[in-house]
Amino acid sequence: MSENSNGSVKEVMPNTEVVAKAKRKRFTAAEKLRILREVEACRGSGEIGALMRREGIYSSYLTTWRKQRELGELDGLSPHKRALKPNPEAIELAKLRREHERLQERMRRAELIIDVQKKSRGCSGRRSRPPNWTTRVDRFG
């Protein structure tokens, strides 16, 4: 509260403006490796805590970053050149080749079944045609 020159009391209102949401800091692979090296160099009691406060990080970050380093993920975080989109004709060609192989296998199985059926007719003792059956060539030729 403050008093005006005319003697009236003026109440000061606190600033209630909502602040924009803070953005989470993102660490590059180089920063992560640097911080991990500094943590490993800490020897005294409380040094790691002071380092984490100074950098604004949590202990869970260190655990996650150590796992990433062990798996080699921090080495591979450098920017990569994006691959070109595959040619639509190449995609279509690959699709047609797969279909061709599928149909060839289906045809091979069908021919195998037909061969088995032919052989089974010969073994059954029955003739495949009646004795008076004439071929088309005999009738018309």
Task: Examine the domain organization and report whether 71 and 91 are in the same domain.
Answer: no
The contacts of residue 69 (CB under 8 Å, 6+ apart) are: 32, 33, 36
Task: Examine the domain organization and report whether 92 and 117 are in the same domain.
Answer: yes
Share of the chain above pLDDT 70, in %: 72
Assigned domain for 100 exists: yes
Find the length of the chain. Answer: 141
Lowest model confidence (mean pLDDT) among 81-90, 96-105, 114-123? 81-90
Range of the domain at 110: 81-124
Mean pLDDT across the stretch 71-93?
A: 77
Assigned domain for 12 exists: no
Mean pLDDT across the stretch 51-79?
A: 84
pLDDT for 121: 83
Task: Examine the domain organization and report whether 116 and 70 are in the same domain.
Answer: no
pTM: 0.41
Q: Is the model's pLDDT at 135 over the cut of 60?
A: no
pLDDT for 107: 96
Domains identified in the chain, total number: 2
